[in-house]
């Protein structure tokens, strides 16, 4: 029996590239759909060059591949539904729709799964922001299309109301209570439609709303770490998850709240390539193919640093003086400020001593 499959990936950025590399190690072939001919995944896969929502191109991808997956959640779910064969997209389009819209996502998490999220209210028009209780702070987020802090307004009093109303006049929003968390954490979990396997809890440090550093294991109590993992398992089981999913959470002094889910491998899980015996990309590929999933072990404490466009030189200097650090560069042809160009993973028991490349740089 030939167990080699052709896997179609929608999106050829770094996540698509690292998924493709994992798939190739396992003997599969990869075809990627991306509008950019020399995108990172083009180095390791065949390409269909077209916009992500081009139904003709999606159909070609579906015809050429046994199984489809995606590297980001803003994929045209309706377009996919038109072209996929039964069981060809094990992650399903429901999960896409949930994670594309914060209103559906909050409802799913709090009502259908029953995990704790920040208290929230759906905002359909600017008038829904009248009579806010200003003894509390809030974060207003657009229901769709927001990323890395875009499409968000933090409300710390009446002074922020005008910009909040402005955002609410453009689209439906979710108004969340501001959580005074101690740490931001995330958990990667992978499923094969039947069982799940869960990665260690990751601690995430953001700068300018972009992930800067991930520390594993997260510096939280064993009790909270177990709780975070149980919440991720509950979500994955409710979804009958296939592939990898990242659950982003806030850790307060004594509890965990879920912030959002990303139905794919995630930047905060990149450390797993070297620091775990199976990476989030390996388990993603195994999971979407419905294969048995391994229990994942962390070899040692690790730190991952993101390399943005403005950090490339610093990162190269860093690996010269830390030759046991692993530098990944995604092969993007254009270097831009704040663009994720690569990452560095190193084993370290002293994460505070591993200084982020962006620290101290005001950008």
Residues found near ligand AMP in the complex (CB under 6 A): 118, 139, 146, 149, 176, 178-179, 184, 206, 209, 248, 259-260
**Is 151 known as a binding-site position?**
yes
* Nearest residue (CB) to ligand AMP, 32 versus 214: 214
Q: Tokens 């039964």, residue?
A: 86
Closest distance of CB 118 from ligand AMP, Å: 4
Neighbouring C-alpha atoms within 13 Å toward the C-beta of 64: 19
* Nearest residue (CB) to ligand AMP, 233 versus 257: 257
* Nearest residue (CB) to ligand AMP, 28 versus 141: 141
**Is 27 known as a binding-site position?**
no
* Nearest residue (CB) to ligand AMP, 34 versus 184: 184
| CA 204 to chain CA mean position, Å | 12
Look up residue 2 and give its two tokens.
Answer: 């030939």
**Is 102 known as a binding-site position?**
yes
Size of the chain, expressed as the number of residues it contains: 363
Look up residue 309 and give its two tokens.
Answer: 């466009």
Q: Is 225 strand, coil or helix? A: helix
Q: How far is CA 243 from CA 100, 150, 284, in A?
A: 17, 27, 4
Q: What is the dihedral of CA 206, 208, 212, 218, to 10 degrees?
A: 0
Closest distance of CB 152 from ligand AMP, Å: 6
Residues 6+ apart with CB under 8 A from 147: none
**Is 259 known as a binding-site position?**
yes
**Is 260 known as a binding-site position?**
yes
- Cα–Cα distance between 144 and 122 in angstroms, integer? 13
Closest distance of CB 139 from ligand AMP, Å: 4
Closest distance of CB 149 from ligand AMP, Å: 5
**Is 150 known as a binding-site position?**
yes
* Nearest residue (CB) to ligand AMP, 177 versus 274: 177
Look up residue 284 and give its two tokens.
Answer: 């993603």
Which residue ranges make up the annotated binding site for ATP? 102, 141, 146-152, 176-179, 184, 206, 259-260
Which residue ranges make up the annotated binding site? 102, 141, 146-152, 176-179, 184, 206, 259-260
């Amino acid at each position: 029996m030939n167990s080699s499959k052709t896997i179609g990936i929608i999106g050829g950025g770094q996540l698509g590239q690292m998924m493709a590399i994992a798939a190739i190690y396992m003997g599969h072939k990869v075809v990627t759909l991306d509008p950019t001919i020399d995108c990172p995944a083009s180095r390791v896969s065949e390409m269909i060059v077209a916009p992500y929502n081009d139904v003709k191109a999606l159909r070609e991808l579906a015809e050429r591949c046994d199984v489809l997956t995606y590297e980001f959640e803003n994929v045209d779910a309706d377009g996919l539904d038109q072209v996929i064969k039964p069981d060809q997209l094990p992650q399903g389009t429901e999960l896409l729709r949930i994670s594309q819209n914060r209103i559906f996502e909050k409802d799913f998490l709090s009502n259908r799964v029953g995990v704790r999220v920040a208290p929230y209210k759906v905002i359909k028009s600017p008038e829904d922001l009248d009579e806010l209780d200003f003894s509390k702070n809030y974060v207003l987020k657009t229901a769709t299309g927001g990323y890395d802090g875009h499409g968000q307004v933090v409300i710390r009093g009446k002074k922020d109301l005008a910009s909040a109303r402005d955002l609410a006049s453009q689209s439906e929003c979710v108004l969340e209570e501001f959580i005074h968390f101690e740490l931001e954490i995330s958990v990667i979990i992978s499923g094969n439609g039947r069982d799940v396997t869960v990665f260690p809890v990751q601690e995430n440090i953001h700068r300018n709303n972009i992930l800067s550093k991930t520390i594993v294991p997260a510096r939280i109590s064993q009790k909270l770490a177990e709780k975070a993992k149980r919440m991720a398992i509950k979500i994955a089981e409710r979804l009958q998850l296939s592939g990898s999913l990242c659950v982003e959470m806030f850790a307060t002094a004594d509890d965990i709240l879920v912030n959002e889910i990303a139905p794919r491998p995630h930047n905060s899980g990149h450390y797993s390539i070297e620091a775990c015996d199976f990476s989030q990309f390996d388990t993603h590929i195994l999971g979407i193919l419905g294969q048995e999933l391994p229990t994942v072990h962390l070899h040692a404490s690790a730190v991952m640093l993101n390399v943005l466009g403005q950090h490339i030189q610093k990162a190269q200097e860093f690996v010269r003086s830390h030759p046991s650090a692993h530098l990944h560069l995604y092969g993007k042809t254009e270097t831009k400020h704040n663009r994720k160009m690569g990452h560095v993973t190193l084993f370290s028991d002293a994460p505070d001593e591993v200084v982020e490349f962006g620290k101290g740089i005001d950008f």
